[in-house]
């Protein structure tokens, strides 16, 4: 899987720019604030329809403009060449295009193009709050499962309705309505829990192996999924549904008092430990950065196993996050497989064997020039 070309119009600091990519390593060099990270962001946007840097779509629109458009020609063995497009209007609805045909659902972009991004923002996945790890799971599973995208959207909507009802605190009317909403939460939430548990299991062993190579096998990384509804993943779907219903029923009185839903996948956690110590609390900055890149590289292998094609790897300013030795080990692990997009402030920050044979570009003030 690869991206052949991308076109940016009114996107971040880009006015109107087209960039063609090489099949292997692509290196984009430039000072901070010139548009390197925005280019990576645009590529990832074509994979999941969302930015990995901001939750506000309006932030992507160039200052002084009312809309922006990102379109790209991507290619895969299964689907051949496809043109994908994302149009964002300030205060308006986001529009998805596949082969220049407008689609009704945002999720219609899923499955055409897969990419894994590592940037400074991804450190929060390890060092931040549980919501950061849930966001990570939502983003990455959404790339490979339209069913998950649908379930996640429906779950969020039902959860908002349930919380609004709880806040009204009208006990007489709420009980019956809660029952109906609970069944919908169980329906969509169980899909989310099963998909998350399987995904975390898939990346756990791979990430542990990669982390060992990054730290010279001196430490042990472990990743596990912790459900908020007291469910053990080896149990089946029926057991999961029962556990979720029981959790909602047992917490109903507490939910009513607090005015919010306290049980469900919106409270789940992905536990990350090194030598059995939780990295979020006890890990050094170096350990947290290495754990984050190990998980991201594990994603590449996992998506390849699930889809049969290697996703595009996006490494945004990796030099600022890893020391020289670990940087070199990352590229040794990646090898020469698949398409890679790398950004750096200076080309000297990257290993010589990576730069040799790579397509190199200079980025300045929202303009890209091949070197």
Give the pLDDT confidence of 78-96 residue by residue, as tens digits: 889 999 999 999 988 899 9
Judge if 145 and 275 occupy the same domain. yes
Q: What is the mean pLDDT of residues 183-209?
A: 95
pLDDT, tens digit, for every residue of 142-155? 988 989 999 999 99
Judge if 104 and 233 occupy the same domain. no
| Per-residue pLDDT, 179 | 85
| Cα–Cα distance measured from residue 55 to residue 61, given in angstroms and rounded to the nearest whole number | 13
Judge if 222 and 273 occupy the same domain. yes
Model confidence at 214, pLDDT cuts 50, 70, 90, reads very high
Q: What is the mean pLDDT of residues 44-61?
A: 93
Model confidence at 235, pLDDT cuts 50, 70, 90, reads low
| Cα–Cα distance measured from residue 37 to residue 40, given in angstroms and rounded to the nearest whole number | 5
Judge if 222 and 275 occupy the same domain. yes
| Residue 209: domain span | 123-307
The answer to whether residue 173 scores a pLDDT higher than 60 is no
| Per-residue pLDDT, 91 | 85
Judge if 314 and 301 occupy the same domain. no
Model confidence at 322, pLDDT cuts 50, 70, 90, reads confident
- How many structural domains is the chain composed of? 2
Higher-confidence residue: 77 or 222?
Answer: 222
Model confidence at 234, pLDDT cuts 50, 70, 90, reads low
Global pTM? Answer: 0.91
Judge if 94 and 174 occupy the same domain. no
Judge if 16 and 151 occupy the same domain. no
Q: 202: closest CA among 147, 141, 155?
A: 141
Model confidence at 171, pLDDT cuts 50, 70, 90, reads low
Judge if 19 and 143 occupy the same domain. no
């Amino acid at each position: 899987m690869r991206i052949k070309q991308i076109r940016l119009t009114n996107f971040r600091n880009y006015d109107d720019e087209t960039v063609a990519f090489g099949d292997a390593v692509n290196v984009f060099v430039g000072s901070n604030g010139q548009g390197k990270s925005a280019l990576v962001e645009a590529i990832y946007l074509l994979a999941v329809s969302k930015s990995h840097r901001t939750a506000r779509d309006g932030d992507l629109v160039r200052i002084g403009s009312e809309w922006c458009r990102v379109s790209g020609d991507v290619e895969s063995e299964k689907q051949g060449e496809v043109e994908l497009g994302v149009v964002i209007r300030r205060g308006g609805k986001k529009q998805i295009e596949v082969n220049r045909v407008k689609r009704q659902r945002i999720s219609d972009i899923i499955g055409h193009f897969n990419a894994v991004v590592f940037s400074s923002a991804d450190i929060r996945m390890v060092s931040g709050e549980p919501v950061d790890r849930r966001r990570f799971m939502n983003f990455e599973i959404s790339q490979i499962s339209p069913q998950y995208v649908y379930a996640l959207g429906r779950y969020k909507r039902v959860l908002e309705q349930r919380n609004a009802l709880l806040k009204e605190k009208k006990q007489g009317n709420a009980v019956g309505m809660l029952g109906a909403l609970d069944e919908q939460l169980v329906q969509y939430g169980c899909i989310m829990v099963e998909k998350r548990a399987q995904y975390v299991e898939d990346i756990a062993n791979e990430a542990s192996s990669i982390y060992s190579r990054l730290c010279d096998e001196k430490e042990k990384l472990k990743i596990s999924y912790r459900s908020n509804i007291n469910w053990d993943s080896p149990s089946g779907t029926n057991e999961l549904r029962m556990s979720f219903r029981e959790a909602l029923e047992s917490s109903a009185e507490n939910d009513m008092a607090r005015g919010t839903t306290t049980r469900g996948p919106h409270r789940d956690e992905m536990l990350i430990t090194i030598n059995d110590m939780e990295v979020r609390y006890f890990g050094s900055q170096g350990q947290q950065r290495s754990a984050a890149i190990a998980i991201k590289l594990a994603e590449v292998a996992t998506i390849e196993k699930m889809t049969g094609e290697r996703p595009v790897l996006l490494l945004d300013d990796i030099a600022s996050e890893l020391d020289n030795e670990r940087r070199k080990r990352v590229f040794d692990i990646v090898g020469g497989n698949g398409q890679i997009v790398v950004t750096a402030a200076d080309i000297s920050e990257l290993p010589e064997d990576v730069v040799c044979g790579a397509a190199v570009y200079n980025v300045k003030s929202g303009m890209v020039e091949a070197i």
